[in-house]
Structure 1
Amino acid sequence: MKKNLTKVMAMGMVLTMLGTATAFAEEATLISAAENTSIETIMAEAQAAAFISQSGKVVSVEASVTEGVSIVEIDNEQGGLRFAVSSNSIIVNREDGSYLTAADLTEGMEVAVVYDANGPMGMSMPPYLGNVTAVVANADAGFFTVGHFDEELTDMKNMLKLNIDENTMIQNLQGARIRLTAEDVKNQDALVFYGATTRSIPAQTTPSFVLLLTTAEVPTGKAEVETAEMVPLRETAEANGYKVKWQGKNKPILLEKEGVSLEITVGSDTYVMDGDMVMQASMPSELKNGVTFVSSEIFK
């Protein structure tokens, strides 16, 4: 009984805090993240969705007691939200698709936050989440929704159909430097930013920005059986033509060669390419006996 009561309380908090944007095709009415939807709509989304989103203005960004983790607080009409951002969280700029860090989130900036619908939420005020899935910076233009889009790029509620064109920016949670297309959005969970819609059912729109929320599968074939190993950073980097620059105790190690740069933070399993592309390594870098070791696939 106690377990069921806890679930009911948690759902009640989700219903109180949820603020997603939805397009209602019957009335051709767009509702922004700042407006409340009906309790029936919220209940349906909370039960069916894999992810939930909220938007709001950044109130503060503070370093956590855990190294590499920042605590962000946002304010919105639902009472606000506090959440953690770590190396496993993707922060992306809606305006140009570049990948950011917690340091780029400034006070007053409008952001959209995406998190697991089944994740725990603290009962504090404002409520506290653990590590979120993604943060989209500069989320103050147009409307957005989170949903699962099928083979026809229609969401599971049959309310919104995407007509993706060459001007639609599509990014993923891996920060991979690849060009994604409409085919990559099919049968995926995604956060979608869009403008005007048609008066059809479902409403149709050409999205400006799409963030895929599903982790990419490991390719089959030879690449699948290749394993990474830990290699000494400086020795391996210099053997691959990089110049290694130590920038200070609390700053990433910088590697540069022929217009390519890598920023590697000790203890993190992500690294930054060319200043804005957050890439995922299979193992976190580490310091052993004064020597920094990194995952070998960084240099492949």
Structure 2
Amino acid sequence: MKKLNTLTIAALVSGPFLFQAPVSAQSIAPVNLPVMPIAENVQQQDVSNFMKVSGVISKVIEDDANLPKLIVEDKEKTTETHLNITDEALIFNSSTTEQLKRDSLKEGLLIDAYYDKHKPMLMIYPPRITPEIVIVNDEEKTGNVKVGLFDDNLVSLDNDLKLNIGEKTVILNEKGKNISAEELKGKELIVFYTVSTKSIPAQTTPTKIIALDIAQKHMLEEAQFAIGDDYYMEKGEKMIPIRKVAEHFGYKVEWQNKSATIEIRQQNRSFLISIGKEQYSYNKSLRYFKVVPEIKNGKAYVPEEILDILGAN
């Protein structure tokens, strides 16, 4: 039997890998491979729904849809990553905590990009990533940012940071609406802060906290997949089949023939929707659709706006 040299043994032991060693962008040609789940390690899986890529923007390119694609290099300029910036990306300054526009992403900026690790991605080099969050590191002012899951005591699951909510702490959801501190528990948070203690975990009073509901976002994406081509446009609004989407979220749906109404129930949540009427009830409070629900091909369709309510916790 022939002896194996050291490199051969190392290759057999290590097995397949993703971007294991730093290499130059010019030395490897892109290879199209099947779509695979994003690689994760146990710690990242437990403490956050996101993976992070950091580097300096070396080039900004506009794609066919006039959306920017960032070429990001590490500090040694040995590896690069391509970031596709969509309209949905949340972009913030690390110090001012202000939300930025896409056109503020310029060459020379040091950024941290966070992408949903549960989404599939092509295993090619350089990696192509569509980040949900982009943090622009302010070079002039101090500003720290922590992205991760926090427990009911507002301690990050990696035991790195504990949050003490102050009177001036701004607390928002990802749509920019004010929420309570109670709504932060068990959520993925973007935490902006300046100083922290040297304890374990470090403690801080954040300047701003933004709560992300990743589970809800995934459910909404799955609902859109379930709808597929079963929709139509009416007065600029997307009309979707209410029974299909409500049952997707686990609701019980009943049709009341005499009154031409749809009753949707799940635990302590209930909806009553009338065909041909803009007004509907949600937990006995009155709300209004932009377009009236109607029957087409034996199915009831309502405006897509109801998805956010059905998918809410």
Aligned residue in 2 for 1:293:
none
Secondary structure of 2:206's counterpart equals coil
Taking the aligned partners of 1:73 and 1:210, their CA distance within structure 2 comes to 29
Using a 3 Å threshold, how does the CA distance of structure 1 residues 282 and 211 change in structure 2: closer, same or farther? same
Aligned residue in 1 for 2:146:
145
Give 1:50's aligned amino acid.
N
Aligned residue in 1 for 2:67:
69
Alignment of 1:271-290 (within 5 A): 282=305
Taking the aligned partners of 2:170 and 2:54, their CA distance within structure 1 comes to 20
Give 1:62's aligned amino acid.
I
Using a 3 Å threshold, how does the CA distance of structure 1 residues 84 and 183 change in structure 2: closer, same or farther? same
1:173–1:215 contact (8 Å) kept in structure 2: no
Taking the aligned partners of 1:223 and 1:111, their CA distance within structure 2 comes to 44
Taking the aligned partners of 1:89 and 1:189, their CA distance within structure 2 comes to 16
Give 2:70's aligned amino acid.
V
CA RMSD between the two structures = 3.6
Alignment of 1:41-56 (within 5 A): 43-48=41-46, 49-56=48-55
Alignment of 1:1-300 (within 5 A): 12-13=18-19, 43-48=41-46, 49-65=48-64, 67-77=65-75, 79-129=79-129, 131-139=130-138, 141-174=142-175, 176=176, 178-214=177-213, 221=283, 226-229=288-291, 282=305
Secondary structure of 1:118's counterpart equals coil
Give 2:54's aligned amino acid.
S
Using a 3 Å threshold, how does the CA distance of structure 1 residues 210 and 55 change in structure 2: closer, same or farther? farther
Question: Which shows bigger deviation, 182-191 or 138-147?
Answer: 138-147
Question: Which shows bigger deviation, 54-63 or 216-225?
Answer: 216-225
CA positional deviation for 1:149: 0.7
CA positional deviation for 1:224: 8.9
* Unmatched segments (≥5 aa) in structure 1: 1-7, 18-41, 231-280, 284-300
Using a 3 Å threshold, how does the CA distance of structure 1 residues 76 and 223 change in structure 2: closer, same or farther? farther
Give 2:146's aligned amino acid.
T
2:97–2:192 contact (8 Å) kept in structure 1: no
Larger Rg: 2
Aligned length: 196
Aligned residue in 1 for 2:223:
none
Greater RCO, CA 8 A, separation 6+ = 1
Secondary structure of 1:197's counterpart equals coil
After superposition, what is the alpha-carbon deviation per residue over 1:26-66, rounded to whole angstroms, capped at 9, x for unaligned? xxxxxxxxxxxxxxxx933333231122332222222112x
Secondary structure of 1:71's counterpart equals strand
Secondary structure of 1:190's counterpart equals strand
Secondary structure of 1:191's counterpart equals strand
Aligned residue in 2 for 1:263:
none
Secondary structure of 2:157's counterpart equals coil
1:154–1:161 contact (8 Å) kept in structure 2: yes
2:70–2:84 contact (8 Å) kept in structure 1: yes
1:149–1:156 contact (8 Å) kept in structure 2: yes
Give 1:93's aligned amino acid.
N
CA positional deviation for 1:118: 2.1
TM-score, with normalisation over the residues of structure 1?
0.53
Give 1:80's aligned amino acid.
E
Taking the aligned partners of 1:169 and 1:93, their CA distance within structure 2 comes to 15
Taking the aligned partners of 1:73 and 1:200, their CA distance within structure 2 comes to 37
1:97–1:169 contact (8 Å) kept in structure 2: no
Aligned residue in 2 for 1:253:
none
Give 1:90's aligned amino acid.
L
CA positional deviation for 1:185: 2.2
CA positional deviation for 1:161: 0.8
2:95–2:143 contact (8 Å) kept in structure 1: no
Taking the aligned partners of 2:61 and 2:210, their CA distance within structure 1 comes to 25
Secondary structure of 1:204's counterpart equals strand
Give 1:164's aligned amino acid.
I
Percent identity between matched residues is 28
1:168–1:208 contact (8 Å) kept in structure 2: yes
Question: Which shows bigger deviation, 52-61 or 211-220?
Answer: 211-220
Secondary structure of 2:183's counterpart equals helix
Taking the aligned partners of 2:285 and 2:92, their CA distance within structure 1 comes to 28
CA positional deviation for 1:163: 1.4
Using a 3 Å threshold, how does the CA distance of structure 1 residues 57 and 221 change in structure 2: closer, same or farther? farther
